[in-house]
Amino acid sequence: MTLIEPNAAELRHLERAVELAAEAVRAGDEPFGSVLVGADGQVLAEDRNRVNSLDDNTRHPEFELVRWATAHLTERQRAEATVFTSGEHCP
């Protein structure tokens, strides 16, 4: 197995995802946060878990980012974007 070390920008995005996860816990949700980053490295959107606070089992941050990207990005932009998350995505 090859270990790939994240660069400084990737670490910042991962750290932000963890901050969002902590925000979720403080709000009574499970500890998950995600950040959507464009091909140019700019943050496009971010969210945290809201399953319990909004009483909606679909309010996972990765689902919300997909919804946002579908509404705001072209197919190519979506293909080139990266999601950074505080834990493994739901399948």
pTM beyond 0.75, yes or no: yes
Question: How much is the pLDDT for 90?
Answer: 62
Question: How much is the pLDDT for 71?
Answer: 98
How do beta strands 82-85 and 43-48 pair? unpaired
Question: How much is the pLDDT for 58?
Answer: 84
Q: Where do the domains of the chain lie, and which CATH numbers do they carry?
A: 8-85 (3.40.140.10)
Question: Is the confidence at residue 91, as pLDDT, over 70?
Answer: no
Question: Is the confidence at residue 61, as pLDDT, over 90?
Answer: yes
Residue 47 pLDDT grade (very low, low, confident, very high; cuts 50, 70, 90) = very high
Residue 11 pLDDT grade (very low, low, confident, very high; cuts 50, 70, 90) = very high
